[in-house]
Amino acid sequence: MNRRMGRYSPVRSFCGAAPKLRYVLIGKMLHQLSHLFGDGPISLQDFRVLTERYASLPLIDQIQIWGRLICLQPILKAINRYIPTTDGVMVDLGCGYGLVSLLVASQRNQAILGIEASPSRLAIAQQAACGLQDVTFRCGDITQATVPPSAVILLIDVLFLFPDEVQRGVLTKCSHALTHNSIILIKDSTTAPAWKYAYATFEESIKLSIRAYGIRTGKQPNYRTPHAWRRLISQANLKVIDECFIESVAPYPGIIYVCQKMS
């Protein structure tokens, strides 16, 4: 090795790699890690495309998005299992950075509307969706925004931000917006196992205290037992057609409810 080049550094070599190759390697690494957090349909190509879509962000923001991305396999698996492609609109309430919406768009021809209250997260989602005709992101507080008639509504890790009465109001509004035989898919957290519940409560309490989500929320995460979730859902004139716990090494007690409007 030329002495002027100095000692070989894998980190320096990686950072200096061509941008395209860099995100191929990142996508491959994230895809492999994602299977530790559950099985699902997100492909290696999906990971490559998604990491490139967020490539213009500062590295610290990209790392945050990568951490979220590797946890989404079970959620996409549930969406693909329970939600057929329809001609109607899929509404992603509290869509954050747009990851779930963009992943759904990569796997089906579906009109998708994401609604997000945080201006900074919304701007990132809109930038990442540049060039996609079927995906639209707009600003809106889900506690106040009008939900359009929807073939599918997603509530992914958002209800826990709010107290009981707000959760109930959001679900009731969603129930009114569902068209015939439409589905609302709720992914949130429950209270077991105890160690995951304790960790998730600790982490989210810190985020809420510093207003990490950019909106007015409760002071503590509002997680529920499965029985309490089912009761809340029924109070919004919705019925649970399936319920599943997320089996994952992630320290979050995830649970998914697939619901329809009561007859």
CATH 3.40.50.150-classified regions of the chain: 73-261
At 140 the pLDDT is 93
At 217 the pLDDT is 84
At 19 the pLDDT is 65
At 12 the pLDDT is 46
One digit per residue, the tens of pLDDT, for the chain of length 263 reads: 444 444 544 444 444 456 677 878 999 999 999 998 889 999 999 999 999 999 999 999 999 999 999 999 999 999 999 998 878 899 999 999 999 999 999 888 889 999 999 999 999 999 999 999 999 999 999 999 899 999 999 999 999 999 999 999 999 999 999 987 899 999 999 999 999 999 999 999 999 998 888 777 888 999 999 999 999 999 999 999 999 999 888 899 999 999 999 87
What is the residue type of 43?
A: S
At 4 the pLDDT is 42
CB 42 within 8 A of CB 31: yes
At 6 the pLDDT is 45
Can you read off the two tokens belonging to residue 124?
Answer: 């990132």
Domain 73-261 has CATH 1.10.1040.10: no
Could you tell me the end-to-end alpha-carbon distance of the chain, in angstroms, rounded to an integer?
Answer: 74
Q: What global pTM score does this model have?
A: 0.89
Q: What backbone torsions phi and psi does residue 131 show, to the nearest 5 degrees?
A: 95, -5
At 13 the pLDDT is 45
